[in-house]
Amino acid sequence: MSIEEKQKPQRNDRVTIRTVATHAGVSVAAVSKVMRNAYGVSDALRARVTDAIETLAYRPSRAARGLRGRSFTIGVLLIDIRNPFLPEVIAGVNGVLAPSHYQAMIGVSDARVQLETSLIESMIDYKMDGLILVAPRLPSEILATFAVQIPIVAVGYHDASATAFDTVNADDQRGAEIAVEALLACGYRDIEMLSLGERQGHAVSVVRQREIGFRRAMQRGGLGSSPTISKIPIASPKREEVMRRFLSRKDRPRAVFCWSDLDAITLLSLAMEMGVRVPEDLAVIGYDNSSTAALGLVNLASIDQSGRELGQVATRALISRIEGRTASEHIFQIPSLVSRNSLTRFGNSTDR
């Protein structure tokens, strides 16, 4: 006896392309032609078939489609679903896809390379039409092998030399520069970056790019050739502990640039608890301009990189690639500063 024993009570007679064909009194091929609006269909035939489709409420099986042709599905891979920046990207993707006949299916890899690989493989095995990978961890060579099998657009993945797939990025180096420039403009000289302590941090990741931008801007501002970059672990318990230690350091810098709002907001919160005044004692600037940062309660200055727009652009690129483009594209968006109270006390006296 196998474990896989299953009963099938519901002999749910599905409406297939054959049902439609019979009902309309035409061949299966004819129906298929109408569905794909292929060449060689008279108006009369089309009308008849369309009618039958309507009355039978026929939907082509995606599984069967995938087996033979295209499935009209695009796969989206997210590293993480907790970071509020990622949902923004999804919103952008869905926005562009909504009026089309494409649909998005999302996989979440939780930053595990193993799972990331298997999800990408699954999406290929489903014969999806294309993939949008948001901040993937896999090295470029691996992505290239996948890209042979399926059109791929990588978002938040800095590899402008990739020829097999497209990339869509905000200019993270520039974003970090803008942050530093803003801090400099406020007169701060003693600046540190709080970055992400990744294990396999590869150069293509947005975090590393921001570090590069940070270093360059600091140098350009004449603040030494190797400014301090502290790493915050992503795991929860140690994370707060490290931040607390940072805040109570007696050589704590006057201003800090965080790689993400996620960290910046936690930092703000801990600062308040520990009696470190922001921005009087410590100026903070984040990255992503998440909706939480915009709250009056939080009031965190941040670098805006419109995830929604990134999602839109990536989707359009993917569709154009699905439709035949083969030369790779590497698109850049320019981020911008959103100044708020965590940077410097402004004119409007919202009492915090």
The answer to whether 171 and 334 are in contact (CB under 8 A) is yes
- Using CA of residue 213, residue 217, residue 220, residue 226, what is the dihedral sign? negative
The reply on whether position 137 binds a copy of itself by CB under 8 A is: no
d(CA 341, CA 47): 63
By C-alpha distance, which of 53, 260, 298 is closest to 175? 260
Nearer to a copy of itself, 24 or 74 (CB): 74
The β-bridge relationship of strands 336-338 and 301-304 is: antiparallel
**Interaction between residue 14 and DNA (CB under 7 A):** yes
Binding partner at 205 among a copy of itself, DNA, none, C-beta below 5 to 8 Å by kind: none
Residue whose token pair is 């949008």: 132
Q: Which option in DNA, a copy of itself, none does residue 160 bind, with CB closer than 5 to 8 A by kind?
A: none
User: Least Å distance between CB 122 and a copy of itself?
Assistant: 6
Query: Under 8 Å CB-to-CB from 31, ≥6 apart: which residues?
Result: 17, 20, 21, 24, 49, 52, 53
Q: Residue 176 to residues 29, 67, 156, 196, 223: CA-CA distances in angstroms?
A: 57, 46, 14, 14, 15
Contacting range for a copy of itself; rule: CB under 8 A; set: 104-112, 167-175, 226-234, 244-252: 104-112
Per-residue contact track with DNA, 19 to 58, x per CB under 7 A?
A: -------xxxxx-xx-xx-xxxxx-xx------------x
Of residues 175 through 214, those in contact with a copy of itself by CB under 8 A are: none
- List, in order, residues 6 or more apart from 73 with CB less than 8 Å away: 62, 66, 102, 103, 104, 105, 126, 128, 129
Does 237 interact with a copy of itself (rule: CB under 8 A)?
Answer: no
Contact residues: a copy of itself, CB under 8 A? 1-7, 9-10, 12, 36-39, 59-64, 66-67, 70-71, 73, 81-82, 84, 87, 90-91, 94, 98, 103-108, 110, 115, 118-119, 121-122, 125-127, 148-149, 265-266, 268-270, 272-273, 275, 291-292, 295-298, 324, 326, 350-352
Contact residues: DNA, CB under 7 A? 4, 6, 14, 16-18, 26-30, 32-33, 35-36, 38-42, 44-45, 58-61, 63-65, 67-70
